[in-house]
């Protein structure tokens, strides 16, 4: 990546007043921590055309104009202005180049703004480093060979033998093996088991990670893992084709239970009320449910843990256009009216009342998992093959509920796609599961049981999609 921005930005930088304006806008609208900055942001940070406050709000860098993604583009084209700044991440967009531009000089200005914020300084310099123990030093001194992953590398790519309609399990395991944070945890061998040998699913997963990433290419058989899951999830204990979604939920529950039991006592929850085990910390978020009584307007709010969001695909139709994952999420979080036989008990009115209900996300997980509900639970378990588009980069900001506390940090709720599971067939009781996984930033692979082949992003995004897995783009501290 070039350290110098485009020619249009270079012309803009020649004027010192332009750089000072850029610094002020970034300091107030992106980083600002003072009460004065907050007041200025509240009074001015909205689209001058449609009055919306986001997402994707931009500020023109050549005049005093704020606009949403649609209207900022109309503005710069009509007035022939070139540069605008995204007010969430502080990125510079060049209309002439049609892309976001990186420039080391402007990056220095943004970094200085962040450093002047006390909260940013605390975050940057008060984080603790890693200090290896003597045992770790000894181990590292004998393991000096570096492993590099390249397009031709086989590190982390292992086929899985189908043990008889176990493609559903193979796909879920491939997703777990390529979950970045989970991989980093298990490759450092952090799990210390207290159970009997051969009975801990976390030990089995830990061994699988070591096998996957030691460089061999011979396909693996997951008979031990399958036996452990069957032992703890009786409803899956048969040789029939199972639903990959159900197996994913059951696997997370078993891993969570065994992780939790092996942790030192006392086991306390973290600030976000999650279990401190690695499984919950990565996969579990908080689902907020707001029920509003239409008589007294009282609000009943509950927050429940959730590890995968199941989205309806059949009712999603938009004027003949191809529906998207965003459309499904908007439908999932829309306000629903409850009346007639669906009245709810109001704790304040002490009677059944008409109400509205809305689901939103209270706490985002590190890995956001989605199920597109393609199976109807009828006698034939018919499949809904509606084509749903899904993006490589997903911003979950519009689907967060509750009060959004004003923070000096830009709220970065972007996620990057790293795995997709597809079902091939017309019914859940028959067919075949395959998985696409992202090994590195630009390398995609198709996992069809023991066969692993190269794929590309376009192939992944044009696939049907059943289970979608997104990893948080930027991790934050609790």
CA distance 374 to 351: 37
CA distance 117 to 337: 44
Buried b (16+ CB within 10 A) or exposed e, 85-115: bbbbebbbbbbeeeeebbbeebeebbeebbe
Instruction: Provide the 3-class DSSP secondary structure of residue 446.
Output: strand
User: Interhelix angle for 244-262 vs 201-212, to 10°?
Assistant: 110
**DSSP assigned state of 409:** S
The catalytic site residues sit at 167, 432
Question: Can you state the percent helix, strand and coil of the chain, rounding each to 5?
Answer: 35, 25, 45
Nearest to 160 by CA among 149, 179, 173: 173
Sign of the Cα torsion 248, 249, 252, 253 reads: negative
CA distance 472 to 417: 9
Nearest to 471 by CA among 446, 448, 438: 438
Q: Write out the two tokens for 451.
A: 């066969």
Q: Write out the two tokens for 218.
A: 């011979």
Q: Write out the two tokens for 335.
A: 């306000």
CA distance 460 to 362: 29
CA distance 85 to 60: 6
Given a contact cutoff of 8 angstroms between Cβ atoms, the answer to whether 353 and 343 are in contact is yes
DSSP labels, 253-316 = HHHHHHHHHHSPSS----TTS--SSHHHHHH-EEEEEEEEETTT--EEEEEEEES-EEEE-TT-
**Burial of 23 from C-beta contacts in 10 A (0-12 / 13-18 / 19+):** middle
Helices (H), 278-412: 278-283, 325-332
Nearest to 434 by CA among 421, 418, 444: 421
Instruction: Provide the 3-class DSSP secondary structure of residue 21.
Output: helix
């Amino acid at each position: 990546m070039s350290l110098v921005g485009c020619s249009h930005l270079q012309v803009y930088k020649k004027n010192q007043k332009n750089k000072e304006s850029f610094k002020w806008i970034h300091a107030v609208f992106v980083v600002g921590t003072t009460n004065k900055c907050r007041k200025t942001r509240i009074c001015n940070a909205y689209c001058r055309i449609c009055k919306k406050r986001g997402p994707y709000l931009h500020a023109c860098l050549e005049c005093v104009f704020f606009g949403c993604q649609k209207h900022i583009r109309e503005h710069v084209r009509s007035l022939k202005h070139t540069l605008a700044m995204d007010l969430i991440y502080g990125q510079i967009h060049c209309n002439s180049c049609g892309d976001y531009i990186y420039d080391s000089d402007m990056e220095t200005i943004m970094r200085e703004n962040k450093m002047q914020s006390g909260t940013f300084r605390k975050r940057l310099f008060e984080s603790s480093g890693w200090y290896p123990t003597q045992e770790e030093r000894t181990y590292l001194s004998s393991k000096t060979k570096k492993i590099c992953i390249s397009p031709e590398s086989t590190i982390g790519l292992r086929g899985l033998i189908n043990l008889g309609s176990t493609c559903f399990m193979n796909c879920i395991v491939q997703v777990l093996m390529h979950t970045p944070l989970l991989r980093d945890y298990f490759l450092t061998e952090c799990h210390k088991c207290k159970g009997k040998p051969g009975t801990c699913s976390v030990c089995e997963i830990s061994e699988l990670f070591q096998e996957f990433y030691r460089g061999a290419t011979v396909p693996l058989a997951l008979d031990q893992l399958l036996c452990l899951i069957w032992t703890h999830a009786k409803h899956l204990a048969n040789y029939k084709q199972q639903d990959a979604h159900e197996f994913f939920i059951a696997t997370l529950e078993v891993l969570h239970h065994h992780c939790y039991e092996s942790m030192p006592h006392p086991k306390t929850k973290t600030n976000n009320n999650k279990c401190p085990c690695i499984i919950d910390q990565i996969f579990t978020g908080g689902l907020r449910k707001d029920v509003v009584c239409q008589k007294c307007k009282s609000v009943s709010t509950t927050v429940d843990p959730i590890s995968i969001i199941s989205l309806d695909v059949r009712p999603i139709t938009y004027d003949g256009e191809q529906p998207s994952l965003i459309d499904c999420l908007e439908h999932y979080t829309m306000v629903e009216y409850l009346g007639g036989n669906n009245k709810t008990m109001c704790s304040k009115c002490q009677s059944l009342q008409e109400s509205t209900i809305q689901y939103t996300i209270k706490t985002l997980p590190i890995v956001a998992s989605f199920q597109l509900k393609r199976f109807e639970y009828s006698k034939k378990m018919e499949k809904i093959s509606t084509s749903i588009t899904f993006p490589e980069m997903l911003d979950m900001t519009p689907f967060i509920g509750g009060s959004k506390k004003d923070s000096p940090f830009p709220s970065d709720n972007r996620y990057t796609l790293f795995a997709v599971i597809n079902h091939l067939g017309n019914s859940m009781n028959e067919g075949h599961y395959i998985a696409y996984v992202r090994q590195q930033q630009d390398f995609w692979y198709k996992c069809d049981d023991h066969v692993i082949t190269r794929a590309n992003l376009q192939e992944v995004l044009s696939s049907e999609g059943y289970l979608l897995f997104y990893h948080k783009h930027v991790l934050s501290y609790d």
